[in-house]
Structure 1
Amino acid sequence: MAIPTVGNRLAEIRRESRLTQEQLAERSAVSVEVIRKLEQGSRGAARLDTLHALARALGVSTSALLGDASQAAARGEPDHRQLSLAEIRRVVAPVRGIDGAPLVVPAEEPTDLATLRRNLHAADRVYHAGDYALALRVVPPLLVNVRAAAGLAGDQRQDEAHDLLARAQHLAGGLLIQLRADDLAQTALSGALDAAQRAGDRVVAATVIRTMCWLLMRQGRIGESADLAVATADEVEPRLSRATPAELAAWGWLLLTAAAAQARDNRPDEVADLIGVAAAAAARIGERVPSSDHLMLVGGFDNAKVQMQRAEAAAVAGDAGLVLELSALVPPVPTISASAWRRHRLDLAWALAQLRRYGKATTVLTQLRDTSPTWLRQQRYARDIVDTIATGRRRAMTNELAALAELMGGAR
């Protein structure tokens, strides 16, 4: 029996709802041409936010449309020159010999764990700055050296070495997700989880799971993402009276990740509950920032991030006015997690564009371009916002908008 496609499910549910394609287009604000192509089985992948809008108009969960074809919701790479993945692929998925040992070996003598940890934090700063080209140069040799150090560590330092390996693999997985190398990212994250379990560090393991949930959402597997995030949050839920800031932050991030997945699956009640519990975790942390050793993995979870998640949920629900209201409560400058703040600024730009405040939306995007051009170019969401502004404007394209369109590869 053939597996139903997204288009099959869409057509079936639309007919059950007694709607024509034109009526569904009007309700969902998705063009009838897109709906027609989806139902006809167009080879192009259906975008997740498009499916969410259709599901909302049909009154069903997004998972109901995805069915068994969850990969159809995975997003494609923006149209720009590909950054080379050859070296990181060689390191993350090394060729192995008959004895099972990887053929990739460090070019130099093994480095001590303290130096490797400093190098890891430096690489993490490069990653969070959005400089993916530089990250692709520094992460592969780092991962090779950390893996070698873990293999040579004595019994007394095995936990420390594998904790470091888990963090390095996790960083590689996050970088690969940003570059939309999903299968390779899955390999890196699986290795990270194995190393975290061997180290016995549940905080690190929980943050790896959080990134796995992010990957699942990017692939359109939102139901699995929500289930995994909730199950892991339940497993690692700390006692608020005795929990460390790192434990609270790891738990809080999982709750917000679950909320993000549930928002995309049209489950607003669950979203509100999850964000409410996350807010309690953030309040408990207060001013107690996790130690610098944990900052790479759990830093950035605070009341500001909780508020950003509320705004994101409003954007996913299509409520531009509410996004602006909620965004007014978010600090106007980056918080601990610059990447989360940048993502929030895209929600703000989307809301402004939806409300036809094209000049202000362009200003927000221009600020992101000036500070994080490589990161912005990787964001499909940003390209869609630029396209919305470019097609909706009544006046000639400004120099700022033209520069954005050129960067995103979507000039019109």
Structure 2
Amino acid sequence: MAGNLGDNVRKYRRVVGLSQEEPAHRAGLGLSTVAKLEQGGTVRIETLHMIARALDVETSDLMVSAGREPIVESDFHSLQVMELRKVLTPPKGFSAPVPADDEVPNLAALRHVIVDFERSYFADDYEEISHRLPDLMRDVNTAVRHYESGPERTHALEARITAMRMAGNYLTQTREYDLAYHALSQSIDDAQEISSDLDIASGVMWLCWMMLRQGRLKETLTLAAETADHIEPNKISTASIDHLSVWGWRSPPTRDAHGTQANSWPPPPCRPTTRLHRSPRSAAT
């Protein structure tokens, strides 16, 4: 542990560009204390805490067996992912803090924000997405917390379904698969609360895509087939375009004459259906 402490202290000190003297001075310690620690020596926990504060990190960061890579200001993606992680994986305990809602959520304005956000996503404007996504996630969570029943709650859940689905898509693209799973699972849970089969299936569509990126082909095929069976239209001639779009993507192809599964399935997901704007284009990609 002592060697790890020294390595972690040295690493964090160098990240912020400090000499050994500077954290020692900030912590009110002698230079020999920091030098001894970096060379593999030991210090009391309160001394370690003082050094951690001088380096602007948590004491636990200095104590882990393999210190996590420090996040520097230039690492914008890591900083934004950390904000998303805070939203998607909040602390839970006997009395987990709930953020205060200062204003009544404006659902109409929130819907416009999500539509605008979708344009950025499907234009592959990931820089804009990474800037705005954490705040959007907080806003939809606030709306769901605020409206406990009635049509307003349904609208709030619809907004969160779309926002979480887009977050899951973005996080899959950036290979943050654990967070993508949290977002897509929340989207599916919300869709189940309002009994929206198409929104459930759309969430499953993107979950399958994430699982494929992880190499989980067998599980993906099973989930896709089960979902396609569940949402198969009674009559194709009367089914909506959105229904056909989601069902068609979820349906695995039949095997060829040699019994071989087509290699081209599943295709990259098409634009997900959403209650915020429905048009024939959603089924054309």
TM-score by length of 1: 0.44
**Within the alignment, does 1:169 sit opposite 2:151 as a pair?**
no
Q: What secondary structure does 1:96 align onto? A: coil
Match of 1:86 among 82, 91, 94: 82
- Check if 1:293 corresponds to 2:262: no
Cα RMSD between the aligned structures?
A: 3.2
- 1:110 Cα deviation (Å)? 3.7
Unmatched runs of 5 consecutive residues or more in structure 1: 1-80, 279-289, 306-412
Give the conservation status (yes or no) of the 8 Å contact 2:242–2:283: no
Which one has a larger percent helix, Structure 1 or Structure 2?
1
Residue 241 of structure 1, CA deviation: 2.5
* Aligned AA (2:169): G
Work out whether 1:221 is the aligned partner of 2:216. yes
Does residue 208 (structure 1) correspond to residue 212 (structure 2)? The answer is no
Letter in 1 for 2:205: R
Paired residue for 1:155, among 135, 149, 152?
149
Task: Report Cα offsets for 1:348-400 as digits up to 9, x if no partner.
Answer: xxxxxxxxxxxxxxxxxxxxxxxxxxxxxxxxxxxxxxxxxxxxxxxxxxxxx
Retained in 1: the 8 A contact 2:199–2:274? no
C-alpha separation in 2, matches of 1:105 and 1:193:
26
- Residue 182 of structure 2 is matched in structure 1 by 187
Partner of 1:254: 250
Identity %: 29
In the alignment, is residue 98 of structure 1 matched against residue 94 of structure 2? yes
Structure 1 residue 125 displacement after superposition: 1.1
What is the SS of the residue equivalent to 1:271? coil
Aligned partner letter, 1:163: E
The structure with higher relative contact order (CA 8 Å, sep 6+) is 1
| 1:50-101 deviation digits (Å, cap 9, x = unpaired) | xxxxxxxxxxxxxxxxxxxxxxxxxxxxxxx661211111112122342355
| CA apart distance, 1:175 | 0.7
Partner of residue 124, structure 2: 130
1:293 CA displacement: 2.4
Deviations 1:115-150 (A, max 9, x none): 111111111111111121210121111111111111
For the pair 1:113 / 2:107, whether they are aligned, the reply is yes
Partner of 2:240: 244
Cα distance in structure 1, aligned partners of 2:283 and 2:226 = 20
- Note the alpha carbon deviations across 1:265-311, whole angstroms, 9 max, x for none: xx975439989xx9xxxxxxxxxxx8872559x95433xx4xxxxxx
| Total equivalences in the alignment | 201
Which secondary structure does the structure 2 equivalent of 1:83 belong to?
Answer: helix
Q: Are the counterparts in 1 of residues 168 and 183 from structure 2 also a CA contact under 8 Å?
A: yes
Distance (Å, rounded) in 2 between the aligned partners of 1:131 and 1:104:
30
Tell me, in whole angstroms, the C-alpha distance in 2 between the residues paired with 1:136 and 1:190. 20
Which structure 2 residue ranges, 5 or more long, are not aligned? 1-74, 268-272
Quote the Cα distance in structure 1 between the aligned partners of 2:247 and 2:238. Answer: 14
CA offset at residue 216 of structure 1?
A: 0.6
Where do residues 267-346 of structure 1 align in structure 2 (5 Å cutoff)? 269-271=260-262, 293-295=276-278, 300-302=282-284, 305=285
Distance 1:223 1:141, change over 3 A: same
